[in-house]
Structure 1
Amino acid sequence: MENEVEYGNKKVRIAAVGDIHIRESDKGKWSEYFKEVSRQADVLLICGDLTDTGDEGEAEVLAQELKSCTIPVIGVLGNHDYEKGRHKLIRQILQNNNMTILDGEAVVVEGVGFAGVKGFGGGFDGHMLSMFGEGAMKAFVQEAVDEALHLDRALARLDQDHESIKKIVLLHYSPIKETVKGEPEQIFPFLGSSRLAEPLTRRNVVAAFHGHAHVGQLKGETSGGVPVYNVAKPILSRLGYEFPFFVLEV
């Protein structure tokens, strides 16, 4: 097991990957991957960019490939899934095929609470964009603020409905700078936002997973000590994972 966190007697193996970028030509190419995930984990998280160009045909291929997966699958959408404005259709196709897509919601699986949002950009730490200037800039910042609020509300519902539950967060965009290092600094504002990190610490999240930055670092942590994992498939492949998914046991 790659990492292990002790929480009582029950342990749940959580597999996570992001940026799988399914294409219509991928039919039959993912079956063994999902079978292997099912052998090694109890839950699979897919952290956005489920499709390559945001086409519903790609979502249909993923839905078929996921039939080889015998464990619960939870995901969030990524920016690629929004490319053609068909994100609602992509979500519907996957949810009709036994995948849970979170967008400001939470779900409990195997006794663990999962909360998810896509997230958004805006920059990190002292270099976050501020709500100032042109309307377009204010709208950009507001999107990040709204995503952070949606995440906080999802975590709050878990706290309200399930006392002392272990909480895991799924994102596409990063909540910290450390896991996007390796990408050009000029594009950091488009890779994530520190606004997403605040709810992780305040709500005592066990760990957070994201993707989006293909040339980043696998692990970092928030200023409050919450582990954050960039599980973008290209990173896991670069690190030598035969089957590129990361497993955390909680």
Structure 2
Amino acid sequence: MEEGKKTVKIAAVGDIHVRETDRGKWVDYFKEVSRQADVLAICGDLTDTGDEVEAQILIEELKACTVPVVAVLGNHDFEKGRHKLIRQILLKEGVHMLDGEAVVINGIGFAGVKGFGGGFDAHMLSMFGEGAMKAFVQEAVDEALHLDRALARLDQENENIKKIAIMHYAPIKETIIGEPEVIYPFLGSSRLSEPLNRRQVVAAFHGHAHVGTLEGTTSSGIKVYNVAKQILEKHGYDVPFYLLEV
């Protein structure tokens, strides 16, 4: 770290799956995050069933959090088709909701997307065949493009800025190992790793794969962390969030 530069502590977690019955459950959690970190990143599946009541509960719980919060939506947040409403509820209360956007917090650039599936490396699905298959692949391509553009905007503002990427789906296979191989194509896509390598992010956080692997690296050596709450609990984190100093 350059002399005079302040270290920023980023707490990251995914798949918190807040429910209607969770009122009061998260207060101590968010207080502890605020005690240890400067920023909280939530990597999707903010709600359990994609209901706006769950989002309202989360907002009430987040009042205990005194540091900035940046987040992306996950597949559970889309379940009832109310994802736009969930996003608006959180935005209105000051959560930085990223969907192909970027924000600078404490001098660190955060870029975020939900991401999508499609498979990894030589086993990525290709844009071939039925229209439904092409649409599936196109969704992953679009999410990768949105991530790249968000990271590019950060570079345009300050080419030396340190960048963090957050997403719900995995950008590499290494951090989903432990899940059944037959569902790998639905857990993420290597297309999401291309912007990470191209834009040289400091690190990337994701969730979604509850029984995956905590850490991995892209082909260019970028660190990737699967911070699904269930993974962190499995690794013995008493208060399940990953803390990264940048």
Q: Shorter-chain-normalised TM-score: which range?
A: over 0.9
Structure 1: gaps (5+ residues): 1-5
CA distance in 2, matches of 1:92, 1:102: 11
Out of 29, 37, 40, the position equivalent to 1:41 is 37
One-letter amino acid matched to 2:245:
E
Matches within 5 A, 1:78-157: 78-157=74-153
Go from structure 1 to structure 2 and tell me whether the alpha carbon gap of 1:7 and 1:73 turns closer, same or farther (over 3 Å shift).
farther
Indicate yes or no: 2:81 matched with 1:68: no
Matches within 5 A, 1:186-197: 186-197=182-193
State the identity %: 75
Per the alignment, residue 204 of structure 1 pairs with 200
Out of 4, 26, 48, the position equivalent to 1:30 is 26
CA distance in 2, matches of 1:63, 1:71: 14
Indicate yes or no: 2:223 matched with 1:227: yes
Per the alignment, residue 159 of structure 1 pairs with 155
CA distance in 2, matches of 1:56, 1:204: 36
One-letter amino acid matched to 1:211:
G
Indicate yes or no: 2:209 matched with 1:213: yes
CA distance in 2, matches of 1:72, 1:98: 8
Per the alignment, residue 166 of structure 2 pairs with 170
For 1:57-107, what per-residue CA distance to the aligned partner results, in whole angstroms no more than 9, with x for missing partners? 000000000000000000000000000000000000011112111000000
CA distance in 1, matches of 2:128, 2:192: 19
One-letter amino acid matched to 2:107:
G
SS of equivalent residue, structure 2 residue 63? helix
CA distance in 2, matches of 1:177, 1:207: 16
Per the alignment, residue 238 of structure 1 pairs with 234
Instruction: Quote the offset at 1:163 in angstroms.
Output: 2.3
Per the alignment, residue 13 of structure 1 pairs with 9
Indicate yes or no: 2:35 matched with 1:53: no
CA distance in 2, matches of 1:132, 1:242: 46
CA distance in 1, matches of 2:198, 2:146: 14
Instruction: Quote the offset at 1:7 in angstroms.
Output: 5.5
One-letter amino acid matched to 1:238:
K
RMSD: 0.7
CA distance in 2, matches of 1:163, 1:152: 14
Structure 2: gaps (5+ residues): none
One-letter amino acid matched to 2:37:
A
SS of equivalent residue, structure 1 residue 113? strand
Per the alignment, residue 3 of structure 1 pairs with none
